[in-house]
Amino acid sequence: MEHAGVFVLIGLAAGIVSGFFGVGGGAIIVPALVYFAGFNQHRATGTSLAVLLLPVGLGAVVAYYRHGNVDMKAAGVIAVSLFAAAWASGFLANRVSGAALKLAFGVFMTLMGLYIVISNYCKLGK
């Protein structure tokens, strides 16, 4: 396996960020696969989804559940709607160019980052 060491580092980084901040590992995995392992955007997205299926569900969730920090009803409702939306968006994403998908991902991550920075900056002033 050509990039085994890179894959291990990506997994460690994604696990740490997911466990601490609840950020989807895809926020780390997708760009890391594109820029450090040379994956195209479609392959990085598909690989990220495949990777996250079990480790996230069995790792950090168990720890949070043991501390009473998981609302199972909310999780169930979100999971059903997430499944439907993920299926539909996965279907559509495979019909756009890799460049367009990469641009959309970058815009989304930038907007989310700006929102987090601005909303927390405003809270610091209070």
Q: Can you give the pTM of this predicted structure?
A: 0.67
Question: Rounded to an integer, what distance in angstroms lies between the CA atom of residue 117 and that of residue 58?
Answer: 30
- Please tell me the predicted confidence (pLDDT) of residue 7: 93
Domain spans of the chain, in order of start: 4-124
- Report pLDDT digits (tens) over 5-27: 999 998 888 888 877 777 777 88
Residue in this structure with the two tokens 């069995």, named with its chain if needed: 58
How many Cβ atoms from other residues are within 10 Å of residue 34's Cβ?
Answer: 18
- Which tokens sit at 101? 């998908």
Whats the size of the chain, residue-wise? 126
29 with 50: CB under 8 angstroms? no
